Structure 1
Amino acid sequence: MAMTNPQAQTARMCGRFTQYPTWAQVHEAMSIIGPRRNLRARYNIAPTTTVEAVRQGEEGREIVPMRWGLVPVWWKKPLKSVPATFNARAETVAEKPMFRDAFKKRRCIIPASGFYEWTGEKGDKQPHLFTAADDAPVLAIAGLWDRWRDPEGEEMLSCTMVVTEPSDWMEPYHDRMPVILDGKQIDAWLDGSAGTEILKPAEESALKEFPVSKRVNKVGNDDDPSLIEKDAA
């Protein structure tokens, strides 16, 4: 299938993140069921690439590979025509045509290790990595998923992150941030009993930040763990 250009999208909202927890760590955080498998460690994920997402299956929660950038089930145009749908705004997620059906019926959680934002001037941007303040291996980012079939009948699963206004602490870095759910909210989000009222910025004490390598500014190097070293060159 054709892919859109991730480099053209990463300047908007939350456009890059890391995902390197083990299956056991995701299981402990979200009680996923098997089959147990090795999860690929990713350190610089850009939109339209494949990520892991947790959804409610018929027999329990399961972790499933999905395209990061939601394609609604009703989409009739080519995949390359899909707009930037890797983020969904908390304020409008229940109403926007791209997301409202998934909000009602198909929610997920993206088990991230951290996410990036940038400071500085164009051409000399400094990436900053945001991770759990207590070093927990999983940030439970609220998401939505959908199932789409291309004209040849091939099925594709896709997902989006829900983003909200920033906390006061986050605002110097960006005017949006991912919705990070705590353990008590995970059940209510996945079973649909919670609405937009829980899509709020995380407590300022929940995250920590540090500058990392400017090599993060390029896509295509997401297998490199040295990217997330503090103050890496």
Structure 2
Amino acid sequence: MCVRFLLKTGIEELVRNYRVESVDEGANAYRAGDFYPAQSVPVVLEQKSRVITLARWGFNYSSKKKVVVNARAETILDRPMFKDAARYARCIVPANLFYEWKAEGIGKKVRYRIGLQDASIMSLGGLYKLSFDKDLGPQLAFVIITTDAEEGVREVHPRMPLIIKEEWVDMWLNKDTPVELVEEILSAKTGAKFTVERCEDAINNKIKEGMYGEQMKMF
């Protein structure tokens, strides 16, 4: 699962990288750094035009104020919570690194930072929808899609975020892309080479995964 990532690339570079036509006001002033569930994050989506906007990380789930932050690539086209967004509301979550936790010994998880060897920006596949909060009103929300880990990552964790290759970006963002092509992207491997580094403060940074781990098992 993915419950933490780093984004420090500036908005101007993101605009160039994704050929974005407009940037919402809030996204222009986003705070670079690590992002966690329930925070507002810059995402790239395409409606009438391609935009960067802020969206809250996590779909609301049940009356117990739980949030779902990840969706499994293998099942999103069938699960009621995700199937409409998987067909018509896909987004990209830009990231420079993501983090995974590896079990090392009894009761101990160690944090690793993972990036691409040949690119500074990763395009994480996501889904978005309009969510309603009784205190904040309507908000755009998103989840990050996960898939089986590729070589280089699976030694740390069996799952990883779905990475959208550069040549897939236009198809992924286009709501009119046939579902058969969406399925191909969901099941494809990037063949990318990854950098995997153990964090110096690794042992003390296992809280975030634990907070969301149990509620995600059903998805």
Q: Does 1:208 align with 2:195?
A: yes
| Alpha carbons 1:147, 1:156 under 8 Å: kept | yes
| 1:112 paired residue among 75, 95, 99 | 95
* Aligned position for 2:217: none
SS at match of 1:103: helix
| Alpha carbons 2:152, 2:196 under 8 Å: kept | no
| Alpha carbons 1:94, 1:104 under 8 Å: kept | yes
Q: 1:168 and 1:153, CA in 2 relative to 1: closer, same or farther beyond 3 A?
A: closer
The sequence identity of aligned pairs, in percent, is: 28
TM-score by length of 2: 0.81
Mapped partners of 2:136, 2:111: distance in 1: 40
* Aligned position for 2:216: none
SS at match of 2:41: strand
**Correspondence 1:175-214 to 2 at 5 A:** 175-192=158-175, 193=177, 194-199=181-186, 200-205=188-193, 207-214=194-201
Q: Does 1:102 align with 2:75?
A: no
Amino acid of the residue matched to residue 168 of structure 2?
Answer: Q
| Alpha carbons 2:145, 2:161 under 8 Å: kept | yes
Amino acid of the residue matched to residue 40 of structure 1?
Answer: R
The count of corresponding residues between Structure 1 and Structure 2 is 197
Amino acid of the residue matched to residue 24 of structure 1?
Answer: E
Mapped partners of 1:34, 1:122: distance in 2: 49
SS at match of 1:54: strand
| Alpha carbons 1:112, 1:140 under 8 Å: kept | yes
* Aligned position for 2:116: 132
TM-score by length of 1: 0.76
* Aligned position for 2:16: 28
| Alpha carbons 1:47, 1:86 under 8 Å: kept | yes
Deviations 1:142-162 (A, max 9, x none): 110000224578101100111
Q: 1:173 and 1:23, CA in 2 relative to 1: closer, same or farther beyond 3 A?
A: same
Mapped partners of 1:70, 1:50: distance in 2: 12
SS at match of 1:118: strand
User: Unmatched 5+ residue regions in structure 2?
Assistant: 209-219
| 2:39 paired residue among 37, 49, 72 | 49
Amino acid of the residue matched to residue 36 of structure 2?
Answer: A
Mapped partners of 2:47, 2:159: distance in 1: 30
Mapped partners of 1:151, 1:210: distance in 2: 41
SS at match of 1:210: strand
Mapped partners of 1:107, 1:88: distance in 2: 12
SS at match of 1:149: strand
SS at match of 2:14: helix
* Aligned position for 1:81: 65
SS at match of 1:142: strand
Task: Give the Å deviation of 1:39.
Answer: 2.9
* Aligned position for 2:57: 68
| Alpha carbons 2:101, 2:206 under 8 Å: kept | no
